[in-house]
Chain A
């Protein structure tokens, strides 16, 4: 990373009369746009920048140098599964035979694209132990919403309209309760035990015939496998509810365990986590939703099917919950994930979970003498420290995170889950070498020493990044969100 901050905005490079494009000559000038009634045309031209091509290239190249990605360095952001994104997947996604397809082309001209969609759908079903997947949802939270719509559609199809509650552990990602609310469901929170797992005794009295289902992440947000999952699933099923699996933490289970075999009925997968499609600064992702046998008919329109002759088709049905996307989701992301699965194959996919889990436990065991480990024992792909073990210096988790940036590492997820005040959630993926982890461990230990010896220096971190700590209170109090506002 380059420490010289590049902070200009493209608008500030604009000069009236410059231009960064060429287009073919208009051969049909006899038909002029100015013939449109003037009250239908915009009065003021949009104030977009006027810049030449090289200026655009340098501008965004310099901006990229202010950024940190997985290709830059270690990115142990808990619950985000920041894997290496194989380069070949980018080439496959840009493949001309797929990139220029219009979604409504005649069905016999898109058989290859539908084969990709169907092939990934089937691969995910096998990996997750589900009957069928839709790849239409655009992201994890969109998958949650779609999955909950499947849940409600199932109950509605049986005329059971009173099931309006969904049970969510207090340790869940914020998207779980938010998705439930968008889906018109009432959120009921179930408590966690001190070890972070669901309190089954707290769950029992919540279960009645108003419960539509329960959402769980397993391993949970502390990286702990919910050992009583079979019992929990049985309890929820006995009261007539369905079990929803949030696939945010699926990575450690690869090769070892399938949500479908744990008693889950509906689930989503984050292709940008488990199947290594690039996070792209926050998207595009993809959140395929899988269901067990008996729920397939509720999956969203359109659905891709294959007939006995091997011909693929796109179907809309009335039983479906409806459409949740314009077409078949983020197809470019689907291509990448399929390429990733084919690249690894069954023999490497099964090593993903164990190696990710080994890496997490190795880091945990190597640091638990200087960071507070609230829950002992084997974790899965991630774990949570509750800040420094020695808190006497007043150095917080935020300070530790910022100091890590000085050493060239991305920070872990901080202040989540909410169960601990100083949560520091670390997830090293299977792609990281022992040397990288040792380097991280050493720096984390150094920071613990610095916190003791020179706390003010740590509290003032970062010192070596392109910019230093930001005033986010000011940003929220007086929001300036466009160049126009900034220039005023």
Chain B
């Protein structure tokens, strides 16, 4: 039986069974009716050595193609400093669980406190929870939070300029949770203010969800939106690409009630879409309506400053069906990831990342437009590092051609439109090369 993950010798098993008054391992299952037991081995491959496991994943890995990335749409190719990976591999962080025993979990509790502090700074909000799953589920949770806070109100207005991936998840949660989702039309790439002002006056609107930036990369002007929401007793929810808040006007500054989104853009590898880290920040007033775990500062009996899970009376293990949410496990380790990232980058680093993305994206847009073969889909609208171009060329064929050169040339968003993104990872040469392939 000797196997690297099982320390039991035959002698151990015999002695341990004896202590239990049993004769064989089968006796441990004597309470399960035989007809319910599995009387065969799993139809799965035999054990692999480490060498074989490596070879297996090398082989599958070789079926993927790593590409020069000009795609965004919710997942961004940013640089990860080496330090972050190194800290994340520390097994004291990696192999611990939820910090229920605060006396031996101050490492986890403290980084969550730092994470909450940094996310509150980044979003301009007062408080943050300890993390959610991803940006999409965080947005859906914000929707449910607004509905819960709005008592009998159960309609939520969602900008049609939001990432469709977010809208799909919002729709699913809404359908089962009994929330009515109504879209606010988009006009020329931005959320229609007229349509918003018309729809928000309905008496059952609990919340309004808009994006920073929106799906088309446009940085919308939400001046006055919060006031209009509040006059109509609705909460304003902003779903954001975390990294961009290093420079863009924050949900807090727009007067939003809840800021949500995905922290993946804070240096987390794209990893085929996960894990990222959902965030949810709000005002102190709404803290008891907030889903998920929260860490607070306190003291131990010797007076040392310490940190502890707090406000647990909102959570599922206490409130059961009356809880604010069913979330239990979150994405804690990824919260550590973005915390270390933000500690290294600081405000200057985040600004620089955004400046480089802006410069690269505007250079790319400029060159594509100057080629005469592309136009900006929304020429009057400001964007940061992501934008939509239109063309009469065959987009599928262009993307295919780029793919053959190892370039992921954005995401098609309609028959004649392409959503492109540039981060600090792209060099001028790479951009020039893309332009060449798209316009030759």
Contact = CB atoms under 8 A, between A and B. Distances in A.
A104 B66 CA distance: 12
A339 B136 CA distance: 28
A391 interface: no
Contact of B28 (A21, A91, A325, A378): A378
A134 interface: no
B42 A255 contact: yes
Contact of A26 (B13, B333, B348, B355): B355
B104 A1 contact: yes
B45 A346 contact: yes
B282 to A, nearest CB: 11
Given A67-B96, A284-B332, 19 more contacts: A7-B306, A9-B113, A31-B358, A40-B382, A47-B121, A70-B96, A82-B97, A85-B94, A109-B67, A129-B38, A184-B177, A230-B36, A257-B36, A281-B98, A325-B134, A361-B28, A467-B102, A470-B308, A476-B313
B172 A174 contact: no
Interface string B14-56: 0111011110010111111100111001111111101001101
Contacts of A470: 102-103, 298-301, 306, 308
Contacts of A96: 61, 66
B313 A184 contact: no
A113 B93 CA distance: 27
Contacts of B392: none
Contacts of B300: 467-471
B298 A475 contact: yes
A280 B326 contact: no
Contacts of B165: 323, 326-327
Interface pairs A-B: 10 shortest CB-CB: A97-B61, A345-B47, A280-B333, A327-B273, A67-B107, A322-B172, A69-B95, A112-B63, A103-B273, A178-B316
A106 B412 CA distance: 11
Contacts of A183: 176-177
B346 interface: yes
B73 interface: yes
A483 B28 contact: no
8 contacts: A40-B248, A48-B346, A101-B66, A149-B176, A348-B47, A358-B17, A430-B5, A482-B121
B67 A105 contact: yes
Nearest to B348: A19
Most chain B CB neighbours (cut-off 10 Å) among A262, A333, A472: A472
A41 B355 CA distance: 12
Most chain A CB neighbours (cut-off 10 Å) among B271, B358, B408: B271
B55 to A, nearest CB: 11
Given A24-B427, A279-B95, A322-B175, A145 B31 contact: no
Interface string B106-134: 11101111101110111010111011011
B393 interface: no
B271 to A, nearest CB: 5
B269 interface: yes
A49 B349 CA distance: 11
A85 B273 contact: no
Contacts of A33: 247, 354-355, 358-359, 384
Contact of B411 (A59, A104, A116): A104
B317 interface: yes
Contacts of B321: 177-178, 180-181, 187
Interface in A69-109: 69-72, 75, 77, 80, 82, 84-86, 88, 90-106, 108-109
A342 B355 contact: no
Contacts of B21: 365
B105 A68 contact: yes
Contact of A71 (B63, B92, B120, B327): B92
A252 B414 CA distance: 50
A179 B144 CA distance: 13
